[in-house]
Structure 1
Amino acid sequence: MQHSSTHQVDSTTSLHVVSSGTPDPLKPTLIFLHFWGGSSRTYSATISHLSPHFHCIAVDFRGWGSSTGPNVPGSYSIHQLASDIETLLPGMDVQDFILVGHSMGGKVAQLISGRNLVKGLKGIVLIAPAPPIPFELPSDMKEQQLTAYSSAASAEFVARNVLSASKLSDVTISALAEDMLKGNEFAKAAWPEYAMREDIVEEANRINVPVLVIAGRKDIVEPVERVRKEVLEKIQDARMVVIEESGHMLPVEVPLLVSRHIEQFVARVVAQDWSRKEGLVSPGQNF
């Protein structure tokens, strides 16, 4: 059973949130943060496998999906997206939680985790994550990204040929393209123009909760070796699993596999947290 709600962050920004499953005091809530061009429904297939067992909250970032945002250039930075989530969560009556961030949402999750401004964070899952380092595209690639979501044809091409390595259904491709086109012009421009250049390495180095990184072997957007070098090596005690047949759109291409890895990770986090409370594991020690 899904429930949609809207939460006002400031005078120009409201966040659309989709909740599934039932809160359980013995299990952390899963908070899902989407990629550049996505929305809360990017995770629909993955959440369908998880919501029978976990309380799941998927958020539309400002300017994407059904969320609103200011018509002001520069208002869609990674720092601003993170601040929105940090403002949202205390009002959601969430106790313990795990962040699940895909691509751009993974960079937001790293920043939130490193800043540690919201109580209750127990771990993070980074799916094909953008690295914490500042990243600059060559000018021709930057121009391609700026126009990638300008029409239905270009959005569908990107979804089929760049983001995914699987043969996705026409219905799935259409939904992905619809989300890409729905983003406002300032949200669309932010990632290639400035957000990917934001440096959050210092915050990533400060992450001190368990981290699972899920990568796709056929991902050409965030290749496995770059994820290994620029994400895994900058976060202490992070672990990575590689899904062989998937591209960048892991939550859409292989939702069952992604959900299983998340479920196993949550079980490990819960067991570790219980052991710490019982004094069996010292703070900062993972197993």
Structure 2
Amino acid sequence: MATSRSFDIGGGAVLNVSCFGSQGPALIFLHFWGGSSRTYSPVIELLGTHFQTFAVDFRGWGASTGPDDPDAYSIQTLADDIEAVITALQLKSYFIIGHSMGGKVAQLLAGKGCLKGLQGVVLVAPAPPSPLELPAEAKEQQLSAYDSRENATFVAKNVLTSTSLPDGVIAALAEDMLKGSSVARDAWPKYAMAEDVTAEVQNITVPVLVVAASADRVEPADKMQSLVVDRIKHASLVVIEGSGHMIPVEAPGQLATHIKSFVDKVSI
């Protein structure tokens, strides 16, 4: 059964971490913009007997809190938060799994070279390390994507996913989107997606697995090779057929299999 731990990292941020499993290598899960630690629940249920898992709620999302400062949600700040949690957990070796926005945070963490014990990284439909500048109209659409249950449900069903999911799964996704604080929700489209971490990514030395989805409308699989894999020295790519951007809930079994295979191979 999962347990929760809270880490006060200062500056008004208290991070919630959902912990599951007690043996094997440690896995740290970082969620997408609009998600929470429970986004990974279907995957962790499949991996918990093999690994120790720690799913983090980023500041302002899930059960974590964050300051009211609209500038306090950069990729750099989120990475610093995760570094503080890893230090507090006192893990000697571990893997980081980052989805979408969480994937950009994971790339920065791995590229900074300051994490002792990092063995490898799994990037799940990751946001590329290069800046993304949206046209004004698209940015406005993103800023309003999570401001009502109707909008959040529409995004979950028609943008983020490409398979038919149970109503309860869609409702949980929408609930997490709405639960995010306004400053956390706005930070990604306003400035975080435009941050450039390509220089750091070129310094990654640990093995990296990039997991893409063939029907992903947000981070198309055909762009993952050039935008992510080719920029990392020791990266490889696998593509899950039929899934949309929400691989952790659309194809949890396949994702869990890829993670376990990667971790087992690196841990030999």
Instruction: Specify the TM-score bucket, using the shorter chain as the normaliser.
Output: over 0.9
1:5 maps to what in 2? Answer: 5
Deviation at 1:23, TM superposition (A): 3.4
Note the 1:43-58 alignment, pairs <5 A.
43-58=40-55
Aligned to 1:30, the other structure's residue is in SS state: strand
Aligned to 1:168, the other structure's residue is in SS state: coil
Say what the alpha-carbon RMSD is for the aligned residues: 0.7
Deviation at 1:199, TM superposition (A): 0.4
2:91 maps to what in 1? Answer: 94
1:175 and 2:172 are equivalent in the alignment: yes
The answer to whether the Cα contact below 8 Å between 2:83 and 2:115 also exists between their aligned partners in 1 is: yes
1:274 maps to what in 2? Answer: none
Aligned equivalents of 1:42 and 1:212: distance in 2?
A: 20
**Structure 2 unaligned runs (5+)?**
none
1:222 and 2:219 are equivalent in the alignment: yes
Aligned to 1:58, the other structure's residue is in SS state: strand
Aligned equivalents of 1:81 and 1:64: distance in 2?
A: 12
2:23 maps to what in 1? Answer: 23
2:104 maps to what in 1? Answer: 107
Deviation at 1:222, TM superposition (A): 0.2
1:131 maps to what in 2? Answer: 128
Segments ≥4 residues shifted beyond 6 Å: none
1:251 and 2:248 are equivalent in the alignment: yes
1:205 and 2:208 are equivalent in the alignment: no
Aligned equivalents of 1:237 and 1:120: distance in 2?
A: 17
Aligned to 1:8, the other structure's residue is in SS state: strand
Which one-letter code corresponds to 2:2 in the other structure? Q
Identify the match of residue 32 of structure 1 among 29, 35, 53.
Answer: 29
Deviations 1:159-191 (A, max 9, x none): 000000010110000000000000001000000
1:151 and 2:172 are equivalent in the alignment: no
1:78 and 2:81 are equivalent in the alignment: no
**Structure 1 unaligned runs (5+)?**
272-287
Which one-letter code corresponds to 1:17 in the other structure? V
Instruction: Name the count of aligned residue pairs.
Output: 268
TM-score, scaled to structure 2: 0.99
Structure whose alpha-carbon radius of gyration is higher: 1
Identity among equivalent pairs (%): 53
TM-score, scaled to structure 1: 0.92
Deviation at 1:73, TM superposition (A): 1.2
